[in-house]
C-alpha cells in the first residue's frame, strides 16, 4: 500500500507542477516519492507496473485537455476518450523506461546507495529528448516547462536548452532523496555524492551569473501590434460567419494602425480563405495594407503547386507579398494522419480544412528593421526549429497560433509556456499572435513584456529589439543532452566492468 501511495503522490505533485495549476515550485519535490519507491527492493514486475500507473496518472492529469479538444473538432466521445488515453499511455512508457533503467543501473553499481543522482537526472533528460524526436516528436510538458514563470531559474537554457532545466530539477529531487536516506551520516553522504552536489550548485550558480548579464543588442526598438480576433473554432470555416471574421480583422487592423506600428501580426490561419489563390481575400489584404500603410504578417491556408499548406505571408505597405513561410512540422491528427495507410480509417484529421502538406522552408523574412523567423502553432514546442531560424539569421522569433481548439483548458497555458524557453534559448524577442490567446511579447531573458487575456478580442502593442547575438544553444543545439547520453553510456560500461569477476568488460 505504501508503494501505491508514493506513486500516486508523485502523480498528483507532477500534475500540479504544470500549467494551468502553475505550482511550479512543486516540481522540485514531485519526483521524491517516486524515487523513494524506486530505491526499495520491490520486485521488478511490481516496480514496472506501479511506474506505469504513476506515469499514466500524471499524464492524464496534465493532458486531460486532449478530450475537450477532440470534442471541439466533433470527434465522438468514445473516440475522444480513446485518443486521450492512448497518448497518456504512450507518455507512461517513458516512466517505465526510467524506472527500469535506473533500477538496473543501481543494481549494477559499486555502491549500496541504489543509484547516483547524476544518473537519474541524465537518464530523465535523455528520455525527454527521445520523446521530443521519436515518431515525429511530442515535446509537450517537459519537466523544465514547470519553471516558465520563474525566469531566474531558467537562464541556463541559453546553454543547455529546456533540457538543462529538466536535468536540474530531477537532479535536485534525486539528490534530496539520497541525502534524506542517509541523514544520520550527512557528512559522509555529501562526500559520496560530491559530484552530484557540485553539479547542482554549479548549475544554480550559472543561472545566477546569467541573470546578471545584459541582453541588450543596442539596436533601435521596433513597434509591433498583435491582432487577437478570438474567432470561435466553430465559426472559422463556416461561410455564414465569413463577413463577421472579415469585419473583426478589418476593425482590429485599423485600430492597430492608429499607433503607427512597424509590423502588424495576425494569428495562424486568420484569413477564412486560400491565399494567394482566392483573389477576394488577397484584394482585401492588399487594401488593408494600403489603408494602414504598414507591413503585415498574415496567417492563411494556401494552395500551391497542387499542395495545401498552413502558411504565413509577409506583405508590404502597398500590399505586395514579399515572402512566405509554409509550415514544416505538422500536428499529428490535427493537420495530418501519421501512418496513414493504417490509421486513416480509424481517425479523421481534426482540422476542418483537411490534411495539410509539409514544406522544407527555412524562410527568414527580411524587413526594413531586421530579419525574423516564424514558427506556426505546434512548432513552438520544438527548440530545434526555432533555433534553426535564428542560426540562419533571424533576429526576432514570431509564433503564430490558433489555440481555439483548447478553449479554457490547460492547453493554451501549456502551449504558451514553451515560448518562454524559445526566447531564453536564442536570446531573441519572441512575439506570439494567438487567435484566442495568449498573445504576448517575451524578452530575451524570458520575462513577459505584455500579454493578452484568454478568449478575448484584443489588440496587443509593444516594442521588440532585434538581436544578432548567438547563444551557445543556438550554435551547438542539444550538446548538453549529448553529454548526458555519453555519461549514461560510460556509466553502463564502467558498471559492467566493475561487476565482471575478471575486471574486463562483459
Which among 7, 289, 377, 484 is annotated as catalytic?
377
* Annotation says 327 is catalytic: yes
Give me the helix-helix angle, 32-39 and 77-107, nearest 10°: 50
* Annotation says 268 is catalytic: yes
Q: What is the number of helices (H) and of strands (E) in the chain? A: 18, 12
Half-sphere exposure of 343 (CA within 13 A, CB side): 12
Read off the C-alpha cell for 265: 501580426
Read off the C-alpha cell for 395: 533576429
Distance of CA 407 to the CA centre of its chain: 18
Strand order in the sheet with 321-326: 321-326, 307-315, 295-304, 263-265, 222-228, 458-464
Strand order in the sheet with 429-434: 364-367, 370-376, 396-401, 429-434, 440-442, 448-451
Which among 128, 268, 335, 425 is annotated as catalytic?
268
* Annotation says 377 is catalytic: yes
**Percent of the chain as helix, strand, coil, to the nearest 5:** 50, 15, 35
Taking CB atoms within 8 Å and a gap of at least 24, the contacts of 257-260 are: 257/225, 257/291, 257/292, 257/293, 257/294, 259/223, 259/225, 259/461, 260/223, 260/294
- Are 27 and 146 contacting, i.e. CB atoms less than 8 angstroms apart? yes
Is beta strand 396-401 parallel, antiparallel or unpaired with respect to 440-442? unpaired
* Count of residues making up the chain: 506
Which among 236, 286, 327, 391 is annotated as catalytic?
327
- Are 125 and 169 contacting, i.e. CB atoms less than 8 angstroms apart? no
Catalytic center residues: 268, 327, 377
Amino acid at each position: 500500500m505504501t508503494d501505491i501511495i508514493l506513486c500516486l503522490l508523485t502523480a498528483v505533485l507532477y500534475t500540479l507542477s504544470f500549467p494551468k495549476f502553475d505550482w511550479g515550485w512543486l516540481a522540485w519535490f514531485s519526483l521524491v516519492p517516486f524515487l523513494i519507491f524506486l530505491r526499495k527492493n520491490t520486485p521488478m514486475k511490481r516496480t514496472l507496473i506501479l511506474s506505469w500507473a504513476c506515469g499514466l496518472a500524471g499524464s492524464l492529469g496534465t493532458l486531460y485537455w486532449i478530450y475537450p479538444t477532440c470534442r471541439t473538432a466533433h470527434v465522438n466521445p468514445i473516440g475522444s476518450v480513446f485518443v486521450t488515453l492512448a497518448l497518456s499511455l504512450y507518455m507512461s512508457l517513458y516512466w517505465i523506461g526510467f524506472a527500469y533503467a535506473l533500477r538496473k543501473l543501481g543494481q549494477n553499481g559499486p555502491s549500496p546507495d541504489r543509484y547516483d543522482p547524476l544518473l537519474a537526472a541524465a537518464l530523465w533528460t535523455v528520455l525527454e529528448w527521445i520523446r521530443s524526436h521519436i515518431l515525429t516528436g511530442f515535446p509537450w510538458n517537459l519537466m523544465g516547462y514547470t519553471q516558465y514563470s520563474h525566469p531566474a531559474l531558467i537562464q541556463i537554457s541559453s546553454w543547455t536548452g529546456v533540457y538543462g532545466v529538466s536535468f536540474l530539477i530531477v537532479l535536485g529531487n534525486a539528490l534530496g532523496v539520497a541525502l534524506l536516506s542517509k541523514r544520520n551520516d550527512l557528512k559522509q553522504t555529501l562526500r559520496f555524492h560530491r559530484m552530484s552536489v557540485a553539479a547542482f550548485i554549479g548549475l544554480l550558480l550559472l543561472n545566477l551569473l546569467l541573470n546578471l548579464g545584459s541582453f541588450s543588442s543596442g539596436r533601435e526598438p521596433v513597434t509591433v501590434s498583435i491582432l487577437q480576433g478570438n474567432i470561435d473554432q466553430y465559426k472559422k470555416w463556416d461561410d455564414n460567419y465569413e463577413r463577421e471574421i472579415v469585419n473583426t480583422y478589418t476593425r482590429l487592423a485599423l485600430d492597430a494602425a492608429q499607433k503607427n506600428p512597424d509590423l502588424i501580426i495576425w494569428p495562424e490561419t486568420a484569413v477564412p480563405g486560400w491565399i494567394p489563390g482566392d483573389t477576394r481575400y488577397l484584394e482585401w489584404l492588399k487594401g488593408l495594407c494600403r489603408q494602414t500603410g504598414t507591413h503585415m504578417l498574415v496567417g492563411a491556408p494556401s494552395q500551391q503547386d497542387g499542395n495545401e499548406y498552413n502558411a504565413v505571408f509577409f506583405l508590404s505597405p502597398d500590399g505586395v507579398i514579399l515572402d512566405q513561410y509554409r509550415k514544416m512540422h505538422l500536428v499529428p491528427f490535427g493537420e495530418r494522419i501519421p501512418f496513414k495507410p493504417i490509421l486513416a480509417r480509424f481517425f479523421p484529421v481534426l482540422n476542418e480544412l483537411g490534411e495539410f502538406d509539409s514544406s522544407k522552408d527555412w524562410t527568414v523574412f527580411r524587413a526594413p528593421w531586421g530579419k525574423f523567423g516564424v514558427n506556426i502553432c505546434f512548432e513552438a514546442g520544438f527548440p530545434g526549429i526555432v533555433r534553426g531560424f535564428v542560426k540562419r539569421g533571424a533576429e526576432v522569433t514570431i509564433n503564430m497560433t490558433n489555440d481555439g481548439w483548447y478553449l479554457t483548458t490547460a492547453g493554451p497555458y501549456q502551449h504558451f509556456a514553451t515560448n518562454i524557453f524559445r526566447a531564453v534559448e536564442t536570446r531573441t524577442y519572441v512575439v506570439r499572435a494567438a487567435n484566442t490567446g495568449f498573445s504576448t511579447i517575451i524578452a530575451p531573458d524570458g520575462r513577459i513584456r505584455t500579454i493578452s487575456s484568454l478568449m478575448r478580442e484584443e489588440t496587443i502593442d509593444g516594442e521588440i529589439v532585434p538581436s544578432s547575438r548567438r547563444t551557445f544553444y543556438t550554435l551547438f543545439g542539444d550538446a548538453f543532452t549529448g553529454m548526458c547520453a555519453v555519461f549514461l553510456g560510460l556509466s553502463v560500461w564502467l558498471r559492467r566492468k566493475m561487476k565482471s569477476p575478471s575486471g574486463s568488460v562483459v
